[in-house]
Amino acid sequence: MVEVVTTRLPGSEHKSGSLTSDSTRDECAVIALDSVTREYETRAGAVRALDSATFSIVAGEWVAITGPSGSGKSTLVNLLGCLDRPTCGVLKIDGVDVAAMSAKELDRFRADKIGFIFQQFHLIPYLSALENVMLAQYFHSMTDEAEARAALEKVGLGDRITHLPSELSGGEQQRVCIARALINNPPILLADEPTGNLDQANQKIVADLLRTLHASGHTIVMVTHDPEMAALAERKIALSHGKVFCHPVRDVVKLR
């Protein structure tokens, strides 16, 4: 198992308590959707990819988003990541209505609050592992080589920092992607099929990393088709034809 050393994030302390009422959940919500709809205009008419989604995710929770192809998972993740805006409804991240922000404010907000882990890694092929992580720092308006090295060491890649992506295994590339997502210590990690391209051994390494990040207080929202990965989460949100089906919170949230 890869050992990740992280400090507990502020705001995740509620996990030692008992979250049983909906009002308590709402107070602790780091992500809250109220009747959020996303329609795409196409030549054939409007496609309602997300239909009146209402749910909340509390700080420190690990949620798996599941559903068949075309059910709206990426649409939902793009909205949660502030890469897209709802057609209607209210989406609050950390208590802030994202619709009220300008594009520039949203860029800053996203950089502070959210780390992205993609199935396709999206690493720059001609930059080393270290430079790929430092590029993420650049977008936060600060570069710090020591911090970038430390992020790679955290994910067990201290001996691979000068490697190009083509000189890394798929699992190692995904770990660079996770190191990059951890820059600036964002409270929310959004993962879209984080193990979709990995073999079983690397899947386990990434699952262990996510476990450790969750234990250190990160809120994790993870799209997955893999029932084993989904079983790691505390709660499942299932999508079908753009409709959200939340599994009951009280039955499945395992509080420490």
Residue 132 binds which one of Mg ion, ligand ATP, none, with CB within 5 to 8 A depending on kind?
Answer: none
Please, are residues 94 and 32 in contact by the beta-carbon 8 Å criterion?
no
- The partner residues of 92 in beta bridges, in order of sequence, read 32, 97
Q: Is 73 in the site for ligand ATP (CB under 6 A)?
A: yes
Q: Which stretch binds ligand ATP (CB under 6 A): 71-79, 141-149, 154-162, 163-171?
A: 71-79
User: Hey, which residues between 75 and 94 contact ligand ATP (CB under 6 A)?
Assistant: 75
Nearer to ligand ATP, 6 or 74 (CB): 74
As measured in angstroms, the least distance from the Cβ of 73 to ligand ATP is 4
Rounded CA-CA distance 121/30 in Å is 25
Report yes or no: 64 and 229 within 8 Å, Cβ to Cβ: yes
* Among 74, 87, 143, 185, contact with Mg ion (rule: CB under 5 A): 74
Single out the residue of 18, 69, 166, 200 in contact with ligand ATP (rule: CB under 6 A): 69
Q: Are 110 and 163 in contact (CB under 8 A)?
A: no
Stretch of 68-76, 107-115, 146-154, 157-165 lying at the interface with Mg ion (CB under 5 A): 68-76
Binding status of residue 216 toward Mg ion by CB under 5 A = no
Closest by CA to 24, choosing from 249, 245, 252, 256, is 249
Closest to 80 in 3D by CA, of 177, 213, 221: 221
Instruction: Please report, as residue ranges, which positions from 25 to 44 form the binding site for ligand ATP (by CB under 6 A).
Output: 40, 42
Query: What are the structure tokens assigned to 138, written together?
Result: 């650049």
Contact in structure between 222 and 191 (CB atoms under 8 Å):
yes
Is residue 154 within the footprint of ligand ATP (CB under 6 A)?
no
Establish if 194 lies at the interface with ligand ATP (CB under 6 A). no
Q: How many residues of this chain bind ligand ATP (CB under 6 A)?
A: 12
Cα–Cα distance measured from residue 14 to residue 35, given in angstroms and rounded to the nearest whole number: 26
Q: Cβ atoms within 10 A of the Cβ of 43, count?
A: 4
Task: Please report, as ranges, the residues that interact with Mg ion according to CB under 5 A.
Answer: 74
**Where do contacts with ligand ATP occur on this chain (CB under 6 A)?**
40, 42, 47, 49, 67, 69-75
